[in-house]
Structure 1
Amino acid sequence: MAEAATQMTPTEARLDALSLPQGGWSEAARKDALARVRAMSLPDRRDEYWKYTRPETLVQPGAVPAALFDNDEAPIFGEMNRLNIVFVDGVFDAEASDDLSLEEVSIERLADTRSDIHWARDLYGVLEARGQDPVVRPLAALNTAFATDGVLIHVTGKPSKPINLTYHHRSETSDAVLHHVIRVDAGAEVTVLENGPAAARFNKCMEVDVADGAQFHHVRAQGRDHERRAATHLFARLGEESTFKSFTLTANGVLTRNECVIELTGDDAVAHVAGACVGDGDFHHDDTVFITHDAVGCESRQVFKKVLRNGATGVFQGKILVKKDAQKTDGYQISQSLLLDDDSQFLAKPELEIYADDVACSHGSTSGAIDEDALFYLRSRGVREAQATDLLTLAFLAEAVEEIENEDLREEINGRLAAWLERHRG
């Protein structure tokens, strides 16, 4: 009985295994986040927003080992002219990274900024904390409290090339906690790329503040590793006439949970969030999106497509909240799955909550198999069944991929999808 009384809760056990970084401008935000984690507790299957995804391996004290795989595929975005920043098992790798200097951009490591005054002090943990209402996101608060590295990016103009964050997984038991903060000043524009598996277990948070008239473009590729477990969080706040566009490609991985929380706080802002997911076998992928319209004349789009086979599972939870003064809102949400066998499943929870009366909002969710008529048409013209299936699958994913504005990036993503489908043909 005494032993049972002293047994730690899952939240206490996870916190006990971590060390809170001390000192510097982020200390107050970290302590506040830690207090919020303790008040919320880490997620379990009883939580409404986790009923489709098992969080146990994301919250237990140690990471589940993830085997390393040889991969002869060329690094994604590797041929592009970009500034490359590399993290290995959650730690910045200076030798593998480019020099952190780019015109009209300031880039620093989170781990290096220990003074009491820094521009990121006004943002670190701020957007994450705002994103806890009305739905709590304890893994994001855990990240704010215990993040050990990341980058702080301040964009003052229009840099000539994208910033590429590359993650490598080199240890079977690595447990990475990264936190990035990005400020895009009024009228500025930047493209941020992300790729790689990062670690055996990965908890990443990115906070993005997009000022009036600014543009933020984000393309992320999660793949090349079969056993990773990842929870990512993207928090954004948009000013007047600003633009935020984010696309994620996910391939492989045992468990991936991508959360995106966006506030449109300035009139005529635009926010697009899209994703293409391909999964085979022991694969669980969860996109959870919450977009709040709190200004006049704003536009939001959520476009998610998932291709699943051999028992893979896809989840989509997307919400559009329109506050009472957010008139002339244009909100669109679509989530669809293509099930390539009878063993896979797609679980969807689309939501609209509208308090304004002059809006145009819609949502839809469908799940189905390959169109047999279209497949027959292609085969009747000499296309082999496997190739015809791949062509129809790429056509299904196209609406999500088209959300990427840059043509070169679209071609790169389409090429990766085609290669994945070829490798996984039945």
Structure 2
Amino acid sequence: MNAEVRVQETQAEASLIEQFAGLAKDQGGVSAETREKAFAEFKEAGLPHRRVEEWHYTDLRAKMRQAFAPAANAGEAVALPELLDDGATARIAIVDGYYRADLSSGVLPEGVTISPIAEGASLFPAKDAIISLNAAFQQEGVSIEVAEGVEVATAIEISHITTGAEKATYPRNRFVVGNGANVLIVERFLGEAGAVYQTNAATEIRVGDEASATFIKLQDESRKAQHLDSVALKIGAHADVNHFTLNAGSDLSRTQLFVEFEGEESNLGARGISVLGDTQHSDVTLFVDHAVPNCESRELYKSVIADKARSVFQGKIIVRPDAQKTDGQMMVQSLLLSEEAEMNAKPELEIFADDVQCAHGSTTGEIDEDLLFYLRARGIPEAEARKMLVLAFLAEAIEEIENERVVALLETQLRALLGSEE
């Protein structure tokens, strides 16, 4: 007779079980039944570990030593950061996982509505423990809808702010971009410098036919925080979508993006930059499902890794049997600034159609000493010359967006992050 092997619960898992037992289940527009089902799914799987293929390089079971209790909606006064964009911008404030109407813009752009998130069919794939954990504990999420045919000139900035320390937040939001609409949405994740806390965010996005949408995520959490973010993106026909992630903060971060083409003749640009130092660990995991014919995707992710930091990229493009004329190109590039810096790259293709153009690649290297010598020979100090070369390396991922407003915004953020002069 074979004895069943039982994995002992970690301290973090035991804390989550205790917290869920004491949670008020009927809140935030989510039924107790939905929460119970989601937590049962999480409890069955447990925290992801290295034997789970998608989490092989990010052993959350080992890295998440404790689980903080969900933040309370205290409604305290909060100092908001300045808006990122110099142009017209509407702010939506989410503090400690809760929507704060009092801190948000009073008037939204015409054609844009915001409402409490309501239950509905999830756009996320089944059997993901972290998404299930978010669904079980989710707080007051918001649903943002852009009406059909509306071109939103005002950028929408969603400021996720965690106050204090030793708390967990579980924001969950939904964006719906109507047919023929055009919008720019920027999400920022911020926290108090040096504070220890945990974020588990989830966002569902649906982009309609002939729509144009750009989604920017800027992750600049406390360097002692843990940041988990899951995004499900469904794209209609004849649509043009950009998604960009900038990872700079938190001790441990993971961004996982699940994309599915639902309509033909659509384009996706999925790009990102990770700038890491100290002992930071950043994981970007991407899944692009070409489920219909005649669509194009471009994935480009770059990392600059210093000290003992570690960057992880896992990307998979899958082309379904009926998805003929698919064009999918994935590239991950890394720049190591120290001998102890580490990069793990795993780009993949799964192709079940025969009339496609698909490719993937990965490169990892150091700063080119010849280029560094060239700049220093022209009187540029070594530190500034190195910053220039790093900026040049990262710039491609930004400039490919082909939106002057977004490029200017991201270049400003990157220069500030690297401490580089104009």
How many angstroms does 1:8 deviate by? 5.1
User: Given the alignment, which residue of 179, 194, 219 partners 2:172?
Assistant: 179
1:419 shift after superposition:
2.3
RMSD: 2.6
1:44 lines up with 2:49 in the alignment = yes
Matched, 1:384 2:381: yes
Residue 152 of structure 1: which of 125, 143, 152 is its match? 143
Deviations 1:187-219 (A, max 9, x none): 112211011325821000000111211222101
Give the 3 Å change call, closer, same or farther, for CA 265–78 of structure 1 in structure 2: closer
Instruction: Give the Cα separation in 2 of the matches to 1:216 and 1:30.
Output: 31
Q: Which amino acid letter does the alignment assign opposite residue 174 of structure 2? A: V
Q: Is the 8 A contact 1:58 1:231 kept in 2?
A: no
Deviates more, 1:257-266 or 1:81-90: 81-90
Which residue of structure 1 lines up, in the alignment, with residue 370 of structure 2? 373
TM-score (norm 1): 0.86
| C-alpha separation in 2, matches of 1:74 and 1:14 | 31
Q: In the superposition, relative to structure 1, how do residues 414 and 63 fare at CA in structure 2: closer, same or farther (>3 Å)?
A: farther
Structure 1, 371-380 or 320-329: larger mean CA deviation = 371-380
2:59 counterpart of 1:54: yes
Matched AA of 2:123: L
Match of 2:94 in 1: 87
Alpha-carbon spacing, 1:291–1:6, altered in 2? closer, same or farther (3 Å): closer
In the alignment, does 2:123 pair up with 1:127?
A: yes
What secondary structure sits across from 1:259 in the alignment?
Answer: strand
Q: Secondary structure at the match of 1:386?
A: helix
What SS does the corresponding residue of 2:170 show, helix, strand or coil?
A: strand
Q: Deviations over 1:78-121 (max 9, x none)?
A: 533211011222222333211253311110233xxxxxxxxx54
Identity, % of aligned positions: 35
**2:418 counterpart of 1:416:** no
4+ aligned runs moved over 6 Å, structure 1: none
Contact kept? 1:86, 1:166, Cα under 8 Å: yes
Q: 1:187 touches 1:214 (CA, 8 Å); kept in 2?
A: yes
Quote how far apart the aligned CAs of 1:420 are: 2.2
The answer to whether residue 110 in structure 2 is matched with residue 103 in structure 1 is yes
CA contact (8 A) 1:264 1:295 kept: yes
Cα distance, 1:40–1:227 mapped onto 2, change above 3 Å: same
* TM-fit CA distance, 1:339: 0.5
Cα drift, residue 30 of structure 1: 3.8
> Any gaps of 5 or more consecutive residues in structure 1?
65-71, 111-119
Which deviates the most, 147-156 or 20-29?
A: 20-29
Deviation string for 1:114-152 (max 9, x for gaps)?
A: xxxxxx5444xx211xx23xxx42101221222112210
Q: Could you tell me which amino acid in structure 2 is paired with residue 402 of structure 1?
A: E
236-245 or 298-307: bigger deviation: 236-245
Deviation (angstroms), 1:154: 1.4
TM-score (norm 2): 0.87
Residue equivalent to 1:353: 350
- DSSP-derived class of the 1:420 partner: helix
Aligned mates of 1:80, 1:174 — CA distance in 2: 34
Whole-angstrom CA distance in 1 between matches of 2:7 and 2:52: 25
* Cα distance change of structure 1 residues 330 and 368 upon mapping to structure 2, 3 Å threshold: same
Give the structure 1 partner of residue 75 of structure 2. none
1:354 & 1:142 partners in 2: Cα distance?
32
- 299, 302, 306: which one pairs with 2:299? 302
Q: Which residue of 1 aligns with 2:395?
A: 398
- One-letter code of the match for 2:276? G
Pair 1:73–1:399, CA change in 2 (3 A): farther
User: How far has the Cα of 1:34 moved from its partner?
Assistant: 3.1
- Match of 2:357, SS state, is strand
Compare 413-422 and 170-179 and name the one that shifted more: 413-422
Work out the number of aligned pairs and report it.
397
Contact 2:191/2:222, CA 8 A, preserved across alignment: no
Q: Residue 102 of structure 1 aligns to a residue in which SS?
A: coil
Higher RCO structure, 1 or 2 (CA under 8 Å, sep 6+): 1
Query: Is it true that 1:16 corresponds to 2:18 in the alignment?
Result: yes
User: Contact 2:48 / 2:59 at 8 angstroms: preserved in 1?
Assistant: no
Contact 2:99 2:142 (8 Å CA) reproduced:
no
Shift of 1:40: 3.1
Shift of 1:272: 1.6
Q: CA offsets per residue over residues 258-305 of structure 1, 9 Å max, x none?
A: 000001121112122111111111211100000000101111111100
Deviations 1:374-411 (A, max 9, x none): 11111112221111111111111012112434323322
Over residues 49-106 of structure 1, what are the superposed CA-to-partner deviations in whole Å (9 max), with x where a residue is unaligned?
Answer: 1121131355843279xxxxxxx99745153321101122222233321125331111
Aligned-partner residue type, residue 17 of structure 2: L
Deviation at 1:33, TM superposition (A): 2.7
1:77 is aligned to 2:73: no
Q: Which residue of 1 aligns with 2:133?
A: 142
- Please identify, of 370-379 and 37-46, the stretch whose mean Cα deviation from structure 2 is larger: 37-46
Task: Give the one of 18, 38, 43 matched to 1:33.
Answer: 38
Distance 2:9 2:368 in 1: 52
Aligned to 1:165: 158
- SS of aligned partner of 1:187: coil
Q: Return 5+ residue gaps in structure 2 as ranges.
A: 1-5, 71-78
Q: 1:372 Cα deviation (Å)? A: 1.0
CA distance in 2, matches of 1:152, 1:351: 33
Contact in 2 for aligned 1:268/1:296 (Cα 8 Å): yes
Which runs of structure 2 are paired with 1:231-270 in the superposition (5 Å)? 231-270=228-267
Structure-2 change in CA distance of 1:344 and 1:251 (3 Å): same
Q: Is the 8 A contact 1:252 1:280 kept in 2?
A: no
